[in-house]
Amino acid sequence: MQKYFISLNDFNNREITGSDVFHIKNVMRSNIGDSIIISNQVKSYLVKITNISEKVAFEILQELDGNKELPFFVGIFQGYPKGDKMEDIIKHGTELGASLFYPVLMKRSIIKLDPKKIESKLIRFNKIAKEASEQSNRDIIPLVENIKKLEKIDFSSYSVKILCYEEDSKNGECHKFKNIIKNLKESDKIAVLIGPEGGIDETEVKYLESIGFISCALGKRILRTESVVFYVLSTISYEWELK
């Protein structure tokens, strides 16, 4: 069943406004009497549509159990990749339970910073996160932060810092990542840093290690930058959500 995240204000008015109305009417072709799921990012509810006009009115049928979230806060710090890959990373990373995305300008990122475009990109990134949260039935929408240079990012609130580093994979390293994931504690907040296509510059590796990042290999093969987020989030789910 389709889920929609709405504002607390709309929730209190028992109505849906904005672009979700178009989606309900024209994409899902819902009718009065149909059930949908509404979340105000605090709780989720099964509701019945009672009117469709420029807004969609609803009444609550029942509160739903939440708990669709990974047991840890996972921040994805993604070295800014080429083309539309950042969008794919946000879409699929959201599905797999990421808590926050940080597009990071790194030495080997190939991107020209046009301030006007960055603003519209950020709006688009957050829209993608909202839609992916709805599709995958998350309890919350992960935030996509503004693009920042690596050295401007404050990682001090993170208790566990993972650097996904392909050189380790080439060297046959194969225990650090699993060791970290297996030994996570309930209150841990995890930062995952992923390089862009060209990889992570050696000076960046040294800097990241100096602030507590542990470089890890993810299996024996060389993963594309856009695949790394999948590996990390899937394996956290596997280790901690499956029994």
136 interacts with a second copy by CB under 8 A:
yes
The stretch among 34-42, 123-131, 144-152, 176-184 that binds a second copy (CB under 8 A) is 176-184
Q: Using CB under 8 A, which of 63, 178, 202, 211 touches a second copy?
A: 178
Contacts with a second copy by CB under 8 A: the residue count is 34
What's the closest the beta carbon of residue 146 comes to a second copy, in angstroms?
26
Residues with Cβ within 8 Å of 218's Cβ and at least 6 positions away in sequence, in order, are: 164, 169, 177, 228, 231, 232
Which of 34, 48, 64, 69 is in the footprint of a second copy by CB under 8 A? 69
User: For residues 115 and 242, which CB has a smaller minimum distance to a second copy in the complex?
Assistant: 242
**Length of the chain (residues):** 243
Q: State the first-to-last Cα distance of the chain, in angstroms, to the nearest integer.
A: 26
Q: How far is the CB of 170 from a second copy (least distance, A)?
A: 8
Binding of a second copy at residue 46 (CB under 8 A)? no
Q: Which is nearer to a second copy, 117 or 178 (CB)?
A: 178
For residue 243, the minimal CB distance to a second copy (Å) is 5
Piece of 39-47, 52-60, 93-101, 148-156 that binds a second copy (CB under 8 A): 93-101
Residues paired with residue 57 on neighbouring β-strands, in sequence order: 15, 51
Tell me which of 48, 92, 124, 127 binds a second copy, using CB under 8 A.
92
41 near a second copy, judged by CB under 8 A: no
Nearer to a second copy, 149 or 170 (CB): 170
Near a second copy by CB under 8 A: residue from 24, 76, 77, 138: 138
Which of 201-232 are b and which e, b meaning 16 or more Cβ less than 10 Å from the residue's Cβ?
eeebbeebeeeebbbbbbeeeebebbbbbbbb
Select from 35-43, 140-148, 151-159, 169-177 the region that touches a second copy (CB under 8 A): 169-177
Residue with tokens 């979340």, as numbered in its chain? 39
Asked if 131 and 119 touch (Cβ cutoff 8 Å), the reply is no
